[in-house]
Amino acid sequence: MKKLILTFIFLSLTLISYAQEITTYYFIRHAEKLRIDKTDKNPNLNFNGYKRAEAWKDVFSDVPFDAIYSTDYNRTKLTAKPTATSKNLPILLYNPNMMYSEAFQNNTKGKTVLVVGHSNTTNVFVNKILGIEKYNEINDNNNSNLYIVTISNEKISSILLKIN
């Protein structure tokens, strides 16, 4: 069902894009991380995290990404990796302190982009694009949010889906 919804959204956006330039961002938080060592600031994914990263690849199987971005942390890069590999795309790094910079906007304009971030940055990135405070910080035990932001002729819309 979730894949069907994403396919419908993608097809709708594709039809609209023939008439105008559309930029579409898909935002997810990294998958579940190892929590064994509380001092480890750069943990890998745990078993469920690797399973979720693979599941994201399946969710995105029909989405023709032009670029995949991640912060420079093991957990975000490992979350992005299955999708990037399946699309034959490199994982491009972004600085979470410089979200939605002019360079990022120029590099992604008219493209379909996956952005993998964190519980305290993903919502900020989405809100920055929207120009309003629409989404709250993601709960630390929630790795299932999928934000889709579409920009078409200066009009911006978004949707939040829960993909378990």
Tens place of pLDDT per residue across the chain (164 aa): 666 566 666 656 555 545 579 999 999 999 999 999 989 999 999 999 999 999 999 999 999 999 999 999 999 999 999 999 999 999 999 999 999 999 999 999 999 999 999 999 999 999 999 999 999 999 999 999 999 999 998 899 999 999 98
Dist. CA 164–CA 148, nearest whole Å = 16
**Are 6 and 105 spatial neighbours (Cβ–Cβ below 8 Å)?**
no
Note the pLDDT of residue 13.
57
Split into its structural domains, the chain has a count of 1
Q: What's the confidence (pLDDT) of residue 67?
A: 98
**Backbone dihedral angles phi then psi of residue 129, each to the nearest 5 degrees:** -65, -45
The 3 state secondary structure assigned to the chain is CHHHHHHHHHHHHHHHHCCCCEEEEEEEECCCECCCCCCCCCCCECHHHHHHHHHHHHHCCCCCCCEEEECCCHHHHHHHHHHHHHHCCCEEECCCCCCCCHHHHHHHCCCEEEEEECCCCHHHHHHHHHCCCCCCCCCCCCCCEEEEEEEECCEEEEEEEECC
152 neighbors 12 (Cβ within 8 angstroms): no
CATH label of the domain that carries residue 57: 3.40.50.1240
Structural domain range at position 115: 2-162
